[in-house]
Structure 1
Amino acid sequence: MTEFLPKDLLDQLNAARRQSRRKRATRVVHVGDEAFPILDYSDGGFAVDADDVPRLRGLIDIFEGPRHLTQALIVASARDGDLMRYEFKRNTPAEMTAPVDFERATPPVGLIARD
């Protein structure tokens, strides 16, 4: 059916489809000071818009809203239509607490009262 539509109409439909995917994206990949929406995410990797995002590589951070999810090392996998797919070489979940360099004293669980 798409063979019968004019090229400018097809371009507008594709642009509207890309805009809709971009609005639905909740996860974002941060590379340095730049952030790009993730259009497709799985355990093995993610996909971004190939036309709007420069070629990514190396260490990246993935956020969902303000929450830091993972820090990952990525490699470009393949171009899939208007998406560029990336695979994780290393994917480390982000920790919300920092490790401590000392042993914490544990308080007593229960105290025996004096009579």
Structure 2
Amino acid sequence: MTTYLPKEVRDGLLAAQKTAFRKRNRLRVVIGVEAYPIRRLWDHGFAVEREGVPQLRGLVDVYDGGRHLWQCLIVAAAEDGDEMQYEFKRQTVALDAAPIDFARDENAPAGLLARE
């Protein structure tokens, strides 16, 4: 039995894999107003598609769908096949509220109602 596939079939399979990946992947890196999908994510970095993505560097934001995960300072690490790998120099968790500098009373009201 042969394992050879014609070039057209291989290209079609690769295109189908890329399309399926884009549909199910929600992770993306945002720099300025541009967003690029993240192919792989690990503890100390991530990888994006090399083609169509400019050389990234500096301060970026990482999102999972609409949720802001981290603000990161990144450097290019290596090219591996058709992807570019980046490493985090700094990775700060994004908070959805400003930190408070006082102790909250556990019985404090959640809000005030106006009297009329």
- Per the shorter chain, which TM-score range? 0.7 to 0.9
Identity fraction in percent: 49
Distance 1:98 1:108, change over 3 A: closer
In the other structure, the counterpart of 2:27 is 27
Q: Distance in 2 between matches of 1:20 and 1:9?
A: 17
For 1:61, give the aligned amino acid. D
Question: Helix, strand or coil for the counterpart of 2:53?
Answer: coil
Per the TM alignment, residue 7 of structure 1 is displaced from its structure 2 partner at its CA by 2.1
Q: Distance in 2 between matches of 1:14 and 1:52?
A: 16
For 1:42, give the aligned amino acid. W
Q: Distance in 1 between matches of 2:71 and 2:97?
A: 15
Post-superposition Cα deviations, 1:62-111, rounded to whole Å, max 9, x if no partner, equal: 111111100001111112222211111111101121134x64574779xx
Q: Distance in 2 between matches of 1:42 and 1:97?
A: 26
Question: Helix, strand or coil for the counterpart of 1:51?
Answer: coil
In the other structure, the counterpart of 2:37 is 37
State the TM-score, normalized to the length of structure 1.
Answer: 0.79
In angstroms, what is the RMSD of aligned CA positions? 2.3
Q: Distance in 1 between matches of 2:63 and 2:43?
A: 15
Post-superposition Cα deviations, 1:5-33, rounded to whole Å, max 9, x if no partner, equal: 22232222222222222222111111100
Matches within 5 A, 1:2-81: 4-81=4-81
State the TM-score, normalized to the length of structure 2.
Answer: 0.78
Give the number of the structure whose alpha-carbon radius of gyration is greater: 1
Q: Distance in 2 between matches of 1:44 and 1:13?
A: 31
For 2:65, give the aligned amino acid. G
**Deviates further, 62-71 or 79-88:** 79-88
Distance 1:105 1:75, change over 3 A: closer
**Structure 2 segments unaligned to the other structure (5+ residues):** 109-116
Distance 1:17 1:105, change over 3 A: closer
